[in-house]
Amino acid sequence: MGNPGTFKRGLLLSALSYLGFETYQVISQAAVVHATAKVEEILEQADYLYESGETEKLYQLLTQYKESEDAELLWRLARASRDVAQLSRTSEEEK
């Protein structure tokens, strides 16, 4: 059998690796939950602005997220874009 010190170091490294991996998973999952919560907040704010008739403010809010892959955000951005284009004060160039 080999050196007991080498075995202990190997065991310690294995335990630390496992703990590091578990920590990474917890942090990653927390980041996803936080991102989801943020999207929900944006959607609530967007819906409030839409219901209030704040078309331009809604468009400004949602254009910040035009690179998002969230279908709910992009759908609201498309609707807001159409609504801004239909405003009489929107120039032909902006449309």
Does 67 map to a domain?
yes
Q: Domain of 59?
A: 40-94
47 in a structural domain:
yes
Show the tokens assigned to 56. 């331009």
Helix, strand counts (H, E) of the chain: 3, 0
**What does the pLDDT profile of the chain (95 residues) look like in tens digits?**
567 777 777 777 777 777 777 776 666 665 544 466 688 899 999 999 999 999 999 999 999 999 988 999 999 999 999 999 998 887 888 77
Return all residues near 87 (Cβ < 8 A) that are at least 6 apart. Answer: 55, 56
pLDDT of residue 6: 76
- Model pLDDT, residue 26: 67
The answer to whether residue 27 is domain-embedded is no
CA atoms of 11 and 1, how far apart (whole Å): 15
Q: How many domains does the chain have?
A: 1
Rg (CA), the chain: 25
